[in-house]
């Protein structure tokens, strides 16, 4: 403490000559910039693989993250460029360093095949080209619906791996032994001529 006091005049003297000032950085809990209606594309070798949209975004340059509110991520087929699925969430964090998107709150992933997956937490890992959730999820699709404790999938929901899954088939169902389709009623029978 005494040393600091001794050094104080020197420091004060130095203040008189500002010299080169380091860039001003925001504190860790405050954003470097704030954007409304933010959108950007995520590409791989120049090919767009997804598009991230948010009503508002807080950009933290030092941590290389963007905090997104009311976010929406659109995934595209890398080969055809067609949209494959859309993920919406109350909020999310996009980490531009490892290119992961952490979506939180009412996360809904909708595939163009009609599959809809809902969870409170979902992570998109661009490097692995995976989305996964470590919390309970539910899904619906033209084939049926289900739920599970957690899952890992590709963004197109073509390969889904779930823990402790359950669900129910929908649609026409299948014929098991002993089951037959109902015969259609004969035409014209019972009708007035």
Partner 1 sequence: MLLILLAGTASAASAQRGKRCLLEFEREAQREGVSVEIPGGNANYYFGGDVRLKCRGQDVRIGADSVESINGDVYRFITKAYYRDADVSIRADTLTYYRQTERIEARGSVVVVSAKDSSTLRGPYVDHTRSVAGVRDSAETLALMRATMTVQPKAAKGDTATRSPYVIVADRLRGYGSSRMAGGGNVTVDRDDLAGRGDSLLYSTGTAGRTILIGAPASWQRTGADSFTVTGREVRLGLTDEVLDDLRAYGDGVVIQDSTRVRGDSVAMRFVDGKLASTEAWGRRGTRAHVTRDGYDIRGDSVSIVAPGEVLEAIRVFGNGMLQNPVDSADATRTAGDSTATAPDRDTLWGTQIDARFGQVDSSGTPLTRVIGITAIGGARSLLTQTVERNGTTTPTLNYSIADTIIISMKPFPGEGFDEVRMLGNVQGLQLETASIGKGAALPAKRGIP
Residues in touch with partner 1 (CB under 8 A) = 113, 143-144, 146-149, 156-182
Of 53 and 143, the one with the shorter C-beta distance to partner 1 is 143
Buried b (16+ CB within 10 A) or exposed e, 127-157: eeebbbbeebbebbbeeebbbbebbbbbbbb
Residue whose CB is less far from partner 1, 1 or 175:
175
- What's the closest the beta carbon of residue 24 comes to partner 1, in angstroms? 50
Tell me the closest approach of the beta carbon of residue 26 to partner 1, in angstroms: 43
What DSSP string describes 114-144?
A: S-EEEEEEEEEETTTTEEEESS-EEEEETTE
Name the residue nearer to partner 1 (CB basis): 125 or 143. 143
Tokens of residue 77, six digits: 């087929």
What are the φ/ψ torsions at residue 132 (nearest 5 degrees)?
A: -150, 160
CB of 155 to partner 1, least distance (A): 12
Nearer to partner 1, 105 or 167 (CB): 167
Three-state DSSP at 85 gives strand
Minimum CB separation of residue 153 from partner 1 in Å reads 8
Q: Give dist(CA 98, CA 126) in Å, integer.
A: 8
Identify the helix (H) or strand (E) that includes residue 9. Answer: helix 2-16
Considering beta carbons, is residue 92 or 146 the nearer one to partner 1?
146
CB of 143 vs partner 1, minimal distance in Å: 7
Strands 116-125 and 137-141: antiparallel
């Amino acid at each position: 403490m005494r040393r600091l006091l001794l050094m104080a005049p020197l420091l004060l003297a130095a203040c008189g000559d500002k010299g080169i000032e380091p860039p001003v950085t925001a504190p860790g809990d405050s954003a470097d910039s704030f954007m409304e209606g933010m959108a950007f594309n995520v590409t791989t070798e120049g090919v767009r693989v997804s598009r991230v949209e948010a009503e508002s975004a807080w950009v933290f340059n030092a941590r290389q993250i963007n905090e997104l509110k009311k976010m929406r991520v659109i995934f595209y087929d890398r080969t055809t460029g067609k949209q494959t699925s859309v993920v919406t969430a109350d909020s999310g964090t996009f980490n531009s360093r490892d290119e992961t998107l952490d979506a939180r709150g009412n996360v809904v992933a909708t595939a163009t095949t009609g599959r809809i997956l809902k969870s409170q937490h979902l992570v998109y890992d661009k490097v692995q080209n995976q989305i996964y959730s470590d919390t309970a999820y539910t899904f619906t699709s033209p084939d049926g619906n289900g739920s599970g404790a957690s899952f890992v999938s590709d963004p197109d929901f073509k390969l889904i791996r779930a823990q402790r899954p359950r669900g129910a088939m929908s649609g026409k169902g299948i014929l098991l032994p002993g089951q037959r389709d109902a015969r259609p009623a004969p035409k014209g029978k019972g009708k007035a001529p």
